[in-house]
Structure 1
Amino acid sequence: MLILTQDFDPTVDPVVHSLKAKDAEVVRVDLSYFPQKMYVTASDFDGERRRLLHRGRDVDLSRLSGVWYRRPTAFDFGPDMGEAEKQFARNEALQGIGGILRATTCTWINRPDLDAVAELKPYQLDIAKRLGMRTPKTLMTNDPEEVSALLARADRPVVYKAFSGGVIHYPGSFPSGLFTTVVGEEINEHLDRVRHTMCMFQEYIEKAYEVRLTVIGNTFFPVVIRSQETDATSVDWRGANHLPYGDYVPLPEDLVKKTQLLMAELDLVYAALDFIVTPDGEYVFLEANPNGQFMWMYHDLKLPMADCIADLLMAGGEFRRGEVTQIGY
């Protein structure tokens, strides 16, 4: 079992404990160990060999049953290499290591090339609509006049939402989050700023509650979030320190089938999906995060997510979508 993530990643720890309890061999490394602390080799000069060597541990990459591509950091070429050489070395490493790992036929959670495509929000929304899911009416543009025209004709509130999760890294400070926000009158004074990048505006949809659905293979963990109970969570529940959970509500079978089709088209094994449930009970798809967090639910609701990931990594072979099991709390 190979887990690729940064040194500090508490999300991985319960999965590692579960794997070890199941007597699985686990190697956890970060891509930043390459090339100074880690060797990767593939050769067919003396028989087929694909290996990773780190701190005395020798991993036969051809025998992997699963790879969890969690949150590794970038290759670290050290301070002595020039910038031009670092760029060349980085591209060579991406081609070499990426190609060697891609050649494995084990279960990936998830392959990084598939993650990169699947996390494109406009692409997700297009697939969801095609599959018959309701999605918010959406404007994506860097044209201030398009936004002005939308606000002038809108018959309900409009929200601004970042494409990429909304994390901004200011030098010398902790990353700050840019949450989904209802657009107010003040935007008219700053409309020209829209032209600086792509912006996404959506209709505000009335909510009864929201659902965070964690999909791990063919196991669904739908969690109800009573977001309308507090002001801090009413527009974007990510702004709360403590979430108001609701009682378990299984997903309707029709939505389960559509979600499976969405996951299959995105070619994902794992994803965290967000839905609004309207006062009349309609589910509205917002987005799918191919590497979304789940440990807060694991701890708060005692959901067996770590064991589920461990079992999936140990299963081996290429993953196939099949019958869904929904897990309550």
Structure 2
Amino acid sequence: MILFFGRTDDPPLARAIRAAQEADHRHLVIDQARLARYDLVVGTGALDGLLTVEGMRVPLDDVSAVYARPLELPDGGDPAARARAAAFQEWFVAWLDTTPAAVVSRPSAMESNSSKPYQAQLIGRSGFVVPETLVSDDTDEILEFRAQHGRIVYKSVSGIRSIVREFTEADESRVHLVRGLPTQFQAYVPGQDVRVHVVGEHTYAAAVDSDAIDYRYADQGGESARLAPLDLPPDTARRCVDLAASLGLPLAGIDLRRTPDGEWVCFEVNPMPAYSYYESHTGLPISTALVEYLDGHRAATPSRG
């Protein structure tokens, strides 16, 4: 059985559930908005247990594959129900790291994105070029880095989503505000953005045409982003698959930029990508591929490289 965990109003999870329904795969949905209604009886073994979900009793060892997108629990409601839901989620997320089922993706594997500088080192080891980077809260270092590279961008060093922005003259006048808050600065890389979704051994690439520094938020600046499917060079596709595998990620969103001279630069790897945005704009069958991975590779256990 395939187990889906998350919020059913979350587009990536909803698309995967729909793909499982259309393929008639046996599956079960655990909705984060209803966790207080579910029950768990832990057995004598470390991984034994019985889930009760919407009146259905499911032994944990009947779960062969999991797609989990644990988001924040809904606010409000009865305090006792919230506490019950939080306890269930805490147990479930811990179970994802121990179950022999195939998991997309294990929490321990996703931790590589908790520190972007650390992840950048792992990306560099995979053979991808990474931008020249400075992590600092020292104003002199930052201004020297900008003088060295001309155009630079900045973003958070953590795994929490942040908007990538270009460092401008206005930023120069307020750069002192970063003291005590180390920030990641990178040399600006010209070229075309390409988002690659890796699902197992397969890649699904989308080329992005946009004048925005961060195309995900192009509309906020009155700009646009146009996406289209892209055939990756075989060696680049293979490198993406190998990179995701080395991080223990059966599903990954890899952010690349193809420079004018044909070099492929990698910025980061998203371990829980919102692939639905790219699928809806390009028609790439990412949700179908994900569900087929879960069904066809349900006995696989991702390895850390």
Bucket of the pairwise TM-score, normalised by the shorter protein: 0.7 to 0.9
Checking the alignment, whether the CA contact within 8 Å between 1:166 and 1:179 is kept in structure 2 is no
Checking the alignment, whether the CA contact within 8 Å between 1:4 and 1:70 is kept in structure 2 is yes
Checking the alignment, whether the CA contact within 8 Å between 1:119 and 1:290 is kept in structure 2 is no
Q: Which residue of 2 aligns with 1:14?
A: 15
Letter in 1 for 2:225: L
Separation in structure 2 between the aligned mates of residue 72 and residue 7 of structure 1, nearest angstrom: 11
Post-superposition offset of 1:203: 0.4
Checking the alignment, whether the CA contact within 8 Å between 2:227 and 2:278 is kept in structure 1 is no
Identify which of 249, 253, 261 aligns with 1:272.
253
Separation in structure 2 between the aligned mates of residue 100 and residue 261 of structure 1, nearest angstrom: 26
Checking the alignment, whether the CA contact within 8 Å between 1:50 and 1:100 is kept in structure 2 is no
Separation in structure 2 between the aligned mates of residue 164 and residue 317 of structure 1, nearest angstrom: 32
Counting matched residue pairs gives 295
Q: Which residue of 2 aligns with 1:125?
A: 120
1:161 aligns with 2:162: no
Post-superposition offset of 1:133: 1.3
The structure having more radius of gyration, on CA atoms, is 1
Checking the alignment, whether the CA contact within 8 Å between 1:124 and 1:287 is kept in structure 2 is yes
Deviations 1:31-64 (A, max 9, x none): 4544x3111122139xx84221122122221011
Ranges in structure 2 where 5+ consecutive residues have no aligned partner: none
1:182 aligns with 2:182: no
What does 1:1-329 align with in structure 2 at a 5 Å threshold? 1-31=2-32, 33-34=34-35, 36-44=36-44, 49-74=48-73, 79-80=78-79, 96-151=91-146, 153-164=147-158, 178-207=162-191, 209-227=192-210, 231=211, 233=212, 235-241=213-219, 242-246=224-228, 248-315=229-296, 316-319=298-301
Post-superposition offset of 1:283: 0.6
Which stretch shifts more, 24-33 or 180-189?
A: 24-33
Post-superposition offset of 1:140: 0.8
Separation in structure 2 between the aligned mates of residue 100 and residue 130 of structure 1, nearest angstrom: 30
TM-score (norm 1): 0.79
Ranges in structure 1 where 5+ consecutive residues have no aligned partner: 168-177, 322-329
Post-superposition offset of 1:78: 6.3
Post-superposition offset of 1:11: 2.4
Letter in 1 for 2:278: M
- RMSD of aligned C-alpha atoms? 2.9
Deviations 1:172-193 (A, max 9, x none): xxxxxx5211111222321221
